[in-house]
Amino acid sequence: MSTAPAAARRAAQLGFLQAIQQAQHEEMTRDERVILMGQDLRANVFGAAQGFLEDFGPSRIRDLPLSEAASVGMAAGAAMAGLRPIVDLTVASFMFCAMDQFVSQVAKNRYMFGGQARMPVVFRQALYYHGGTAAHHADRPYPMFMNVPGLKIMVPSNGPDLKGLLKTAIRDDNPVLCFEDATLWGRRGRGAAPEDDDHLIPFGVASVPREGTDVTVIGIGGGVRHALDAAADLAGEGVSVEVVDPRTLVPMDWPAILASVAKTGRCVIVDPANRTCSAASEIAAHLVEEGFGSLRAPVLRVTSDDMHVPFSPVLEKQIYPSKEKVVAAVRRVLGVEK
Amino acid sequence: MNLERDLALEMLRRMLRIRLFEEATIELFHAGELPAMVHLSIGQEAAIAGACLATTADDYMTGNHRSHGHPIAKGARLDRLMAELLGKAGGVCKGKGGSMHLADFSVGSLGESGIVGSAIPVAVGAGLAADVLGNGLVALCFFGDGAANEGVLHESMNLAAVWKLPVVFFCENNGWAVSVRAGELTSVEDISVRATGYGMPGVTVDGQDPVATYEAVSAAVARARRGEGPSLVEAKTYRFHEHAYGLRVKNSYRDQSEVDVWRQERDPIDLFRRRLLDEGLADEAAVEALDAEVRAEVAAAVEFARDSPYPEPEEAYRDLYYVEGAST
Ligand SMILES: Cc1ncc(C[n+]2csc(CCOP(=O)(O)OP(=O)(O)O)c2C)c(N)n1
Ligand SMILES: [Mg+2]
């Protein structure tokens, strides 16, 4: 593989948009109750729905008006009445327009109605930060939804995981929120394409993209890339970093996280969300409660600063996690002991 | 309407400001100087200028992602708007808002929203403040045909109507919401008919004619100032460029011939210029002088924007909260 020309290597890898395209196409072919809806879907503005209208017809491929609240609640109703909708909300910041529907209907209906309702619905949305879109488009709001019981949440960090998790999500009888980190849309988000069409990744199973012994660095979405880049740099200094990618935040693979930290005794969490009540905060709290005995240093969070995303390119980058910030945090947890 | 010369020239001036300002942003885009894509109002200038000229600089205004035209027509300084588009410290929002989120409180512009529909109730709130304070101001609320399907518009229209607030809901129906033709996912052909459901007057006007827009909004403003409540004005217009300049939509959704017809036959600036000449409200020399004046103004705005420094990194961490005594 390493001798193959770069272009051929890339062709054998799966980017985010292809992963979505493949997962949705395969699952729609497999089960005709799956329907796909979204704004500007037919024109394929976001690039992951090529040929869907031709292949599945207008009844199953629907453009939605600018009506997010109705779109989300309508999908919930359709799911309760026998369909398996996928709703492409495009940008995660647009979810706020439908917050009540997510919280009051999607998340609560099964519980409140004593288990009568099934809610097989998937909501997909990009974390559209780091691109000069300014505060209205650049939110990373998955922690807000972690605070709502009843939702499953995936934040994949590479194309193959996205494909496998999304297929699992579509087959799940519970509501799933699929957050797609747009900083991974490009080449760096790729990974080797899975061979088989039934590539399914279960929820609640973390991956360990790099093994190590000194420090556990847990990455969320695009945070995995920073974790891996930092691990590569630190290896040159003789520091052995283990990178853990939870892949789904709800359910979270606590055993894998606790096992890694039991081995290394130190943990840094890289999370592109805002710091306060981030996914990183939840992981840190859990480690203190359940893994305190194995900790040899404080758990550190590398997150976005608690700030709105400024437009200007000279202002934006600094508020996010970066490789440099991860390296600094790792040095700090190592230094504490000395 | 018997158009007076000064008003007519001011209409043309504001339309030209939008057009030439945005043509300059196209050049900046190609020169790689714009940090992000821009949503252009080219083709929609008559609707915007006519509406804004029916208000005063003190009246309030909110708008959407297609944001440049609104503050320009409301009378904002071009240089600080342009600097904002480049993410510079001299920008009207200090480089923190950007193209979709212009706001210039000095001309009543309370902010444009990148989230479609999100600023609509803010205009209603400005109307409430004007009503409670009794200062006689009105709020002009720009939104698109796509935004007409957001629930928040409907809640806002109802509230403004029941409280008889001085608000003018102004729909720029430019035929498209990204790739979706107006009418395809909207239950009515004329969005103005939705006013009936909220007990307020609604009219549809030719958005390529600044005079038609001006008259309709003037009537709505007068009604609002009399304390009789809100109105809905829909201007039928057309977006000449792609949804966002630089965006490449995978599957084409509108025929180039449709765009060409609008550009050739329904260009609001061409139409209005010809009208001024035909009606003897201006001669060639006056029209050319106006063009030169606005060109110079836009060139100066670009120069100002280029010369303006980038904000200091710490600027990212300011303005989150109001702090007594801190400078803004
Ligand atoms: C709540 C929300 N949903 C979706 C989008 C993405 N989006 C931006 S503009 C737009 C179309 C808006 O159409 P319209 O209101 O007609 O305004 P126009 O762009 O035509 O001026 C869409 C779908 C958004 N910014 N906000
Ligand atoms: Mg429109």
Residue B120 lies in a domain: yes
A44 touches chain B (CB under 8 A): yes
The whole-angstrom separation of Cα B280 and Cα B5 is 9
Which of A72, A93, A315 has the highest number of chain B CBs within 10 A, making it the mutation to test binding with B? A315
Rounded average pLDDT over B152-164: 98
Q: Which fold has domain A14-184?
A: Rossmann fold (3.40.50)
Contacts of A57 (CB under 8 A, 6+ apart): none
How many whole angstroms separate alpha carbon B15 and alpha carbon B10?
Answer: 8
What separation in angstroms does the CA of B78 have from each of A274, B20, B169, B271, B299? 34, 11, 25, 24, 10
> Whose alpha carbon is nearest atom 5 of ligand 1?
B116
Which residue in A43, A311, A315 is closest to B251 by CB distance? A43
* Closest by Cβ to B100, choosing from A50, A64, A134: A134
Residues of A annotated as catalytic are 137
Q: Quote the CA–CA distance of B202 and B193 in Å, as a whole number.
A: 6
List, in order, residues 6 or more apart from B39 with CB less than 8 Å away. Answer: B65, B66, B67, B68, B99, B100, B243, B244, B245
Structure tokens given for B114: 């990148």
Report A:121-140 residues touching B (Cβ under 8 A): 131-137
**Which ligand is closest to the CA of B115, given by its number?**
1
Q: Is A39 in the pocket of ligand 1 (CB under 6 A)?
A: yes
CB B229 within 8 A of CB B161: yes
Has residue B326 been placed in a domain?
Answer: no
**pLDDT for A265:** 98
Helices then strands, each counted (H, E), chain A: 13, 14
Separation of CA B180 and ligand 2 centre (Å): 9
Neighbours of A109 (CB within 10 A): 19
A71 lines ligand 1 (CB under 6 A): no
Domain housing B252: 5-317
Across the interface, do B146 and A45 touch by the CB < 8 Å criterion?
A: no
- Closest ligand 1 atom to Cα of B114: 25
What tokens were used for A87?
A: 């709703």
- CATH code at B215? 3.40.50.970
Closest C-alpha among A213, A214, A218 to residue A228: A218
Residues β-bridged to residue A241? A215
User: Pick from B84, B177, B310: which is nearest to A314 by CB?
Assistant: B310
Confidence grade of residue B251 (pLDDT, cut at 50, 70, 90) = confident
Strands A191-192 and A13-14: antiparallel
Output the pLDDT for position A196: 72
The distance of Cα A226 from the centroid of its chain, to the nearest Å, equals 15
Between A131 and B163, the higher pLDDT residue = B163
ipTM of the complex: 0.95
**The tokens of B107 are what?**
């001309």
- Which of ligand 1's atoms lies nearest the C-alpha of A40? 23
Which comes out higher in pLDDT, residue B251 or B50?
B50
CB contact under 8 A, B178 and A68: no
CATH class of A207-334: alpha beta
Domain count, chain B: 1
| Confidence (pLDDT) at A6 | 67
Q: Where are the alpha helices (DSSP H) in chain B?
A: 5-30, 45-53, 69-74, 78-85, 120-133, 151-162, 210-225, 256-265, 268-278, 284-307
pLDDT at A1: 41
Phi and psi for B19 in degrees, rounded to 5? -60, -50
Say if residue B303's pLDDT is above 70: yes
Confidence (pLDDT) at A8 = 65
B57 is a domain residue:
yes
* Chain A interface mutation, best of B179, B188, B254, highest count of A Cβ atoms under 10 Å: B179
> What is the pLDDT, as a whole number, of residue B1?
62
In chain B, pLDDT over 90 holds for what percent of residues? 96
Residue B250: what residue type?
A: K
User: What confidence score (pLDDT) does residue A36 get?
Assistant: 98
Using an 8 Å CB-CB cutoff, list chain B residues near A64.
185
Write the residue with the smallest CA distance to atom 20 of ligand 1: B177
- The pLDDT of residue A4: 55
Length of chain A: 338
Which candidate from A63, A64, A312 shows the least CB-CB separation from B87? A312
Tens digits of residue pLDDT in B12-33: 999 999 999 999 999 999 999 9
What pLDDT shows up at residue A11? 63
Q: Are A157 and A247 in contact (CB under 8 A)?
A: yes
Closest among B239, B228, B267 to B182, alpha carbons compared: B239
CA of residue A35 to ligand 2 center, whole Å: 26
Neighbour order of strands in the sheet with A241-245 = A207-210, A241-245, A215-219, A267-274, A300-304
pLDDT, position A46: 84
- Ligand 1: distance of its center to the CA of B115 in Å? 7
Cα dihedral: A141, A145, A146, A147 (round 10): 110
Residue B325 lies in a domain: no
Asked if residue B291 is part of any domain, the answer here is yes
Q: What is the mean pLDDT of residues B167-182?
A: 97
Instruction: Give the 3-state secondary structure of residue B256.
Output: helix
pLDDT of residue A193: 73
Q: Give pLDDT tens digits for B194-220.
A: 999 999 999 999 999 999 999 999 999
Q: What is the mean pLDDT of residues B267-272?
A: 98
φ, ψ of residue A25 to 5 degrees: the values are -65, -45
Spell out which residues of chain A touch residue B150, defining contact as CB-CB under 8 Å.
66-68, 97
Q: Which atom of ligand 1 is nearest to the CA of B178?
A: 11
Determine the residue type at A253: D
Task: Tell me whether A29 touches chain B (CB under 8 Å).
Answer: no
What average pLDDT score do residues B4-15 get? 97
Beta strands in chain A (DSSP E): 13-14, 34-38, 61-63, 84-91, 122-127, 152-154, 176-181, 191-192, 207-210, 215-219, 241-245, 248-250, 267-274, 300-304
Q: Which of B57, B198, B62, B201 is nearest to B123 (CA)?
A: B62
Pairing of strands B231-236, B167-173: parallel
- Walking along chain A (338 residues) 10 residues at a time, the average pLDDT comes out as 58 85 96 97 88 96 98 98 97 98 98 97 97 96 98 96 97 98 72 77 98 98 97 97 98 98 98 98 98 98 98 97 98 79
The 3-state DSSP composition of chain A as helix, strand, coil percent (nearest 5) reads 40, 20, 40
Question: Per-residue pLDDT tens for A163-194?
Answer: 999 999 999 999 999 999 999 887 544 567 77
Contact B249 A136 (CB under 8 A): no
Are A133 and A93 within 8 A, CB to CB? no
Looking at residue A338, its pLDDT comes to 41
Query: Alpha-carbon Rg of chain B, whole angstroms?
Result: 19
Binary contact (B101, A134; C-beta < 8 A):
yes
Domain ranges of chain A: 14-184, 207-334
Same fold, A14-184 and A207-334: yes
Query: Which atom of ligand 1 lies closest to the CA of B118?
Result: 1
Check: CB of residue A267 under 8 Å from CB of residue A218. yes
pLDDT at A2: 47
Cβ separation A311–B316 shorter than 8 A: no
Q: Is the CB of B176 under 6 A from ligand 1?
A: yes
- The answer as to whether B328 is a domain residue is no
